[in-house]
Amino acid sequence: MSKFVKQLLMNGVKNRLTDVNSLMLVTLTGISAKVTHTLRGALAEKGIQVMVVKNSAAKRATEGTPLSVGFDGMAGSYALCWGATDIVALAKEVVKLSKDKAYKGFEIKGAVIDGEAYDAVTAAEVSKWPTREEQIAIIMGQIVGVGSKLSGQLIGSGGALVSQFKQLAEKEEAPVA
């Protein structure tokens, strides 16, 4: 392959990875073209993009970016997965599909998250974290919980005070016998 063609490939990889800060490295070894197509479709439904790239090509294309640390010490061909709403949602989907027997050979090899490289085990552990949406729900629940507790306390004591005023008013209105 000529230098010109290699440079075109590098530019293509660079362009596709523009604005990508986190990704997962996986292998697709031993998977037929039909199964790979099905796998790519399943990932695409979740907004996840997949690109198979030679390690040295990816390393050159990501030089000077936060993703470059993910290719140190790696050899061979990898598929890069990125997208979804956040890295946790990506990890959850990749882990789920890697455990599916239909996709035997689809394995996690590592991840790059905000400029830090992680091994396969740690990358799989990311799937156990709460997603962005789950974290927002947890925080909102904590905020609303405190607010509703405070509201209940204010309403409860105010209700007791109103009840006492009502009893006093009824005593004053009652005719003296």
> What is the DSSP track for 125-148?
HGGGSPPHHHHHHHHHHHHHHHHH
65 and 93 in a single domain? The answer is: yes
Which pLDDT tens digit goes with each residue over 105-162?
Answer: 899 999 999 889 999 999 999 999 988 888 899 899 888 888 788 777 777 777 777 7
30 and 61 in a single domain? The answer is: yes
Check which CATH number belongs to the domain holding 66 and give it.
Answer: 3.30.70.1730
Asked if residues 62 and 101 have their Cβ atoms less than 8 Å apart, the reply is no
143 and 121 in a single domain? The answer is: no
* Domain hosting residue 152, numbered range: 130-177
89, 110, 129: which is the final residue of a domain?
Answer: 129
Looking at residue 25, its amino acid is L
Which pLDDT tens digit goes with each residue over 11-30?
Answer: 888 888 888 889 999 999 88
Please give the model's pTM, rounded to 2 decimal places. 0.73
Q: Which residue has the higher pLDDT, 53 or 172?
A: 53
Q: What are the backbone angles phi and psi of residue 121, rounded to the nearest 5°?
A: -65, -45
Binned at pLDDT 50, 70 and 90, residue 176 comes out as: low
90, 111, 129: which is the final residue of a domain?
Answer: 129
32 and 71 in a single domain? The answer is: yes
